[in-house]
A = this chain, B = another copy of it.
């Protein structure tokens, strides 16, 4: 006889429906594997009248106390979006002594410290494998699989919507707005895609990963964030000429003096496996001191991949393992304070595209501007002059100080070498 493990579900939307679907379709297998029969006993949602595809025998309610006050229920899956009502609901479950499983990355990134301390206070845990990279087991891999490693850096594609749009722009040569419209049509972008395309969703996820990687408190204001809204078809074509693809990359990188934390459109050389992570896929590369570089790729969103991750967390709690993790591991307790590097002090390979007059000596002067600041050039590409006698001059560099590259680029513009502000991106190296 297998013991029954009662679950509460708060939020019966797309992902909540996914959880119910997976339990309906694979619950038997799951209980064979993990030794407990997982049963959603009570579902709480503020709108129970909406028609839904799932048939359930669970108790339905609009009142979370029907879950929080039920001594049978040990774990509550919280799938309410946003950071206001969702926060209150989660705090109420933690305070009631329930373990919480969530996919809400914004809530964890913005209110994680408080939530973890409420959880600690009440002797319960918060599990969130589903909050980063959906079905890809990145949290467990980083926390447990790489436990014996200093983490040197994380380079990650964490937003499927942005990645889909950038892939479309590359494959079809379309501009940002066309590609966004197409993503919306195909269901890869929401009607309001703001958080996805402006980099904030990626930053939420990066904050969660960096906390685990560096055992440090990471706040959203630590992360410099730039989205993909201003990436042009020309940028993507130019990157291709330099042997790269543009990806919205979330980067956490340990340096001697602190940590670099940023989300930005970034050139990824085609020979890096991350460059091949296309369409709506997510990919995370972790450079660890002993394991070396490790890459995980998979579906970062969607009802079933997210439900797969949610249920892996539930199993981890039902088996008692996650409680051991939270009790023994330092991730949710007295963490270090993070020293975050200023963008000027980042060390990163860089790309710039200048519009320059078709005149002898321009390339030499431009190269001098860079080398005078100790910036080493990786490659240069110059186009034929257009009908205005202007050439596009593309430069990539070896890793250099961000501030130095910016200063050189400004000087190139100020001294009239370039006729307009350059297009600039970081490059993975």
Contact = CB atoms under 8 A, between A and B. Distances in A.
28 contacts: A18-B290, A26-B149, A32-B215, A33-B215, A33-B329, A135-B292, A136-B145, A136-B294, A137-B137, A137-B145, A137-B146, A140-B140, A140-B145, A144-B315, A144-B316, A147-B311, A147-B312, A148-B308, A273-B273, A273-B276, A291-B298, A291-B304, A291-B305, A291-B308, A292-B299, A293-B298, A294-B298, A295-B298
Contacts of A18: 290
A146 B312 contact: yes
Given A145-B309, A148-B307, A148-B315, 8 more contacts: A34-B328, A135-B288, A135-B292, A146-B308, A148-B308, A293-B299, A294-B296, A296-B296
Nearest to A25: B289
A167 interface: no
A362 B243 CA distance: 41
Nearest to A291: B135
B33 A312 contact: no
Interface stretch (A259-267, A319-327, A389-397): A319-327
Interface in A341-371: none
Interface size class of A (residues with CB under 8 A): 35 or more
Contacts of A320: 324
A147 B34 contact: yes
A290 B307 contact: yes
A30 interface: yes
A70 interface: no
Among A35, A150, A273, A320, max chain B CB count under 10 A is at A273
A330 interface: yes
A328 B320 CA distance: 10
A296 B285 CA distance: 10
